[in-house]
Chains A and B, each alone.
Chain A
Amino acid sequence: QKEVEQDPGPLSVPEGAIVSLNCTYSNSAFQYFMWYRQYSRKGPELLMYTYSSGNKEDGRFTAQVDKSSKYISLFIRDSQPSDSATYLCAMSFPGGFKTIFGAGTRLFVKA
């Protein structure tokens, strides 16, 4: 079983839709949770990071962490064609250095 599971998609939605991206994990020791966006042939870009259960909002993006279910989500409101990219969840341990990434979900937002 992988430490971090993420559906690779692709996920295709119309412009303006609410997008929900999810990851599950197996190790309850993970403490820090991140979401990255990666455009084709580019480096990942940090979108959100959080270290507690609950919601964190930044503009059109909301990150949600449920540690009891070992489940994290990223919601994108009013999705735009420019949001079309691969979204990677990532997590790490307290005091640790290694970040574990999900395989990424490819998102297509159609105009």
Chain B
Amino acid sequence: NAGVMQNPRHLVRRRGQEARLRCSPMKGHSHVYWYRQLPEEGLKFMVYLQKENIIDESGMPKERFSAEFPKEGPSILRIQQVVRGDSAAYFCASSPLGERDEQYFGPGTRLTVT
């Protein structure tokens, strides 16, 4: 049973470019969460999605950030016009239907903005 998959593992973007991060949840999981982790800091919730629906995006910056979880395919976290402050590790987690609190994390995507 494959775990949560994220790609790419490392992403380098110049300021002003777009970053697109992908997350495939565990098989049978229909809930996806995105978190950001800065060096020496804990995980900060960004957004919670179910298939084709954004349920809670209260942790997402209002501008430049968006997320989707289409009916088919992985969940995507998109950051437009990246700035140096966006450099961080971005983790995706998934949980099984009805068990929101057992979240299983992927290996993360480390975004570096130059």
Q: Which A residues are closer than 8 A to B by beta carbons?
A: 4, 6, 8, 32, 34, 36, 41-46, 49, 51, 88, 90, 92, 97-104
Contacts and interface: CB of A to CB of B under 8 A. Distances in A.
B21 to A, nearest CB: 13
Interface stretch (B12-20, B53-61, B68-76): B53-61
Interface of B: 4, 33, 35, 40-45, 48, 55-56, 58-59, 91, 100-108, 110
B102 A49 contact: yes
With most chain A CB atoms within 10 A of its CB, the pick from B42, B48, B104, B105 is B42
A102 B42 contact: yes
Q: Which of B4, B48, B103, B110 has the most CB of A within 10 A?
A: B103
Contact of A8 (B40, B48, B100): B40
B43 A97 contact: no
Contact of B104 (A46, A92, A102): A46
A99 B105 CA distance: 13
17 contacts: A6-B42, A36-B105, A42-B108, A43-B105, A43-B106, A44-B43, A46-B102, A51-B101, A88-B42, A97-B33, A97-B48, A99-B101, A101-B43, A101-B44, A101-B45, A103-B42, A104-B42
Contacts of B101: 32, 34, 49, 51, 92, 99
A41 B39 CA distance: 11
A16 B58 CA distance: 43
Given A88-B43, A98-B45, A42 B56 contact: no
Given A46-B104, A97-B48, 14 more contacts: A41-B108, A43-B107, A44-B105, A46-B102, A46-B103, A49-B102, A90-B43, A97-B100, A98-B56, A98-B58, A98-B59, A99-B101, A101-B35, A103-B40
Contacts of A101: 35, 42-45
A74 to B, nearest CB: 15
A90 B55 CA distance: 20
Contacts of B40: 8, 103
